[in-house]
Structure formats: C-alpha cells, structure tokens
Amino acid sequence: MSTNRIFNLAILAVLLISFLGYLRIYKSWGQQITLITDMNNDSFSGSQSWDFIENIETEFPNLTVTAVPLEAIKAQYYLYNDSVVKGMEMIDNVIRKRSNPYIMLPEALKAKYYNTIGQLDSAKFYSKKAFNGLPKNPFHFVELNRSFVQNNQIDSIVPYFKKVRYPFQQDIYRLFLSTVLPHLEKFDEETNKFIKDVAIEGIKKSANSADQYNNLLRLTSFMILYGKDSVEQMLEIEQEASSLLNDKKYLESLDLYFKLNELIPTNYIFKENIALASFNLKDFDTSAKMYYEVEDLNHNLTESQQFIMGISLWNTNSKSLGCERIMIASELGVEEANNALKILCGL
C-alpha cells in the first residue's frame, strides 16, 4: 500500500472519528436544554421518559456547558424515581472520576439523599464535606442546615452562617433565617439578637430587589422581627389598603397604611404608599418624612418619588433641599421636573 494511500486513510479515519464526536456533542447539547431546566426546577420525578433518561450522554462530553457533571444530573433521575442503588452508584462514579470535583455536587447530592432517609451520620459527613468544599453554594448550605436540625444541633447553624455571611448573598440569608425561624426559643438572648440583626441587614440589603413585593428574604425577616401573627395580619390588611389607594381613596387608605407601618415598620412599601397618599392630601410634611424613612431602609427612590419628595420639601419651606430633589428627578427624565425647576427654583 502506498504512503499516500495510508495517509489518506488516516485522514479519513480522523475525520470520521471527529464527525462521530461532533454528533455526540450535538446530541448532548440538545439533551442539556432539558437537563438544565429540570435541574434548575428540581423536577426529576416523572418529568422525562426512561428512554430519554437511559440515553443521556455522560461521557463525551462529561460536563454540561455550565460545568456540571452530566452523570450527576442523570443520577438524580434514578434517585427520584426509586432506582436508588443505580443513582448512588453513578454519584460515586462521578466522585471517583473527579468530574469537576471543585463544585462538590455529588457530595451535596449524597447529603440530600441521606438527610431525606434519615441517615444522620452520613448526612452530616457529606453536608460538611460539600459545604467546606464550596461554602457559598446555597444548596450546600441548606443541606448542612437540614443535617444540624435533624441532629438537634441548632446552635451549630449560627457559626457556620457567620463563615458565609459576607459578601452578601440573598439566598444564603434567606436559608439561614428560614432555618432558625421555627427554633428561636432554643437560642439564648445574645444569639437571638444576632439573628434579628441579620434580619434587619437582610431587609436593607434586599431593599432594591426586583421582586420587591414577594421577596422571600424580606418576608422571612419580618417574621423574625415581628412574629408570624403580625405578618399574617399584614397580608390581610395590605390587600384592602392597596385597593383603596388604587381607587384614590387616600384618606381611607392612609388609616390602613399607618396600621401596617406600625405592624411592620421596616417595610418600605408601606412608607412609600403613606408618602404618596399624604402628598395627594397635601400633607407635605408626612410625605417628605416617609420618603426619608424609605431611604433609611436603603431603598432607592424612583424618579417620580424624587419629584414628589422635591415638591413636598419645597412646600415645607425646605426649598433648597426640594430643588435638589427636583433636579435629580429632572436628570432622571421626569418632564414635570423641568418646569418645576424654572417656576419654583428659578433654574
């Protein structure tokens, strides 16, 4: 056989192997859309057919585009569908092969499994291992908390939280507070003060969350600070107060919002609504005072709120401060602010 023919055959073989590898990668990419969706939603039970599960590509590639071991994801389908032995074998295989060992996912999955079936020693071992390997991962933190609760070691939750308290991560704060919430009576006075300080900090640090009305960290913090009964009462009153405000029944809505502000004084939304209703009733002192309290809770005023505050301050003879706020509103694009600058501030 000539050298050229051997060379051509070698090239053909390389191209064929490359093409087959490409096909496997392409197939995996298609599967990963489903896998990552199920993983993010934690929906492994009955979400896919067994044919799909058994044909998940886990070797080439062995990691998702987000660097998660594919075999660890595949294992969860087995664990959630009562094929525990096979699922655990796959997780052990991921650990043995060290498929991206830095994210500690297999260890966290083992902790979750052992927490679920009540094997406390194993759950504690693997949850600590996962946490120590990647402590800022909320999944690792929640399984460690579950382990402490089931082992009746509630006091251990606090020192482990202190290790990951900063930099702020909203999920970590929420998981910590929701874990300690049912056990507040078990902590001493100093620890309870620390937990309340964390709740206040959580409220302030999540003050500009996009999900401001249903933010779980804020709701959990309110329960820590004021109790579940107050929060339940808040939820009952808030709906009626909001409806009155939307109907421009400002006086009636104010009565309810003042009650809400007394119940939960760290909820900036109630202060914003008191400020708005008061402004429409020409009670400019209260309007400005409430907006200052909103800012004290680290919440940024919107452009329209800056304008309303500016007008309120101007009408309480704080004209210089009022014009500063109107200027901010103008810079943020409020058209009315431009006219107010000319008429009220001579600018």
What are 153-211's pLDDT values in tens digits? 999 999 999 999 999 999 999 999 999 999 999 999 999 999 999 999 999 998 887 66
CA angle 34, 36, 37 (to 5 degrees): 65
Task: Taking the CA atoms of 79, 84, 90 and 95 in sequence, report the sign of the dihedral they define.
Answer: positive
Mean of pLDDT values over 269-297: 97
Which pair of structure tokens corresponds to residue 284?
């400019």
* pLDDT of 81 above 60: yes
The strand ranges marked E within the chain are none
CA distance 25 to 20: 9
Q: What is the mean pLDDT of the chain?
A: 88
Reported as a single tens digit per residue, the pLDDT across 10-31 is 454 444 444 444 455 556 667 7
More confident of the two residues 1 and 263: 263
* Residue 317 backbone dihedrals phi, psi, to 5 degrees: 70, 15
* pLDDT score at 169: 92
- Assess contact for 125 and 113: CB atoms under 8 A: no
**Residue 69: DSSP 8-state:** B
| pLDDT band (50, 70, 90) for residue 8 | very low
The candidate with the shortest Cα–Cα distance to 117, out of 90, 96, 88, 140, is 88
pLDDT tens per residue across span 94-130: 999 888 888 899 999 999 999 999 999 999 999 999 9
* pLDDT band per the 50, 70, 90 thresholds, residue 238: very high
Q: How far, in Å, CA of 193 to CA of 18, rounded?
A: 62
Judged by DSSP in three states, 188 sits in coil
pLDDT at position 15 is: 44
Q: Which of 253, 307, 311, 266 is nearest to 285 (CA)?
A: 311
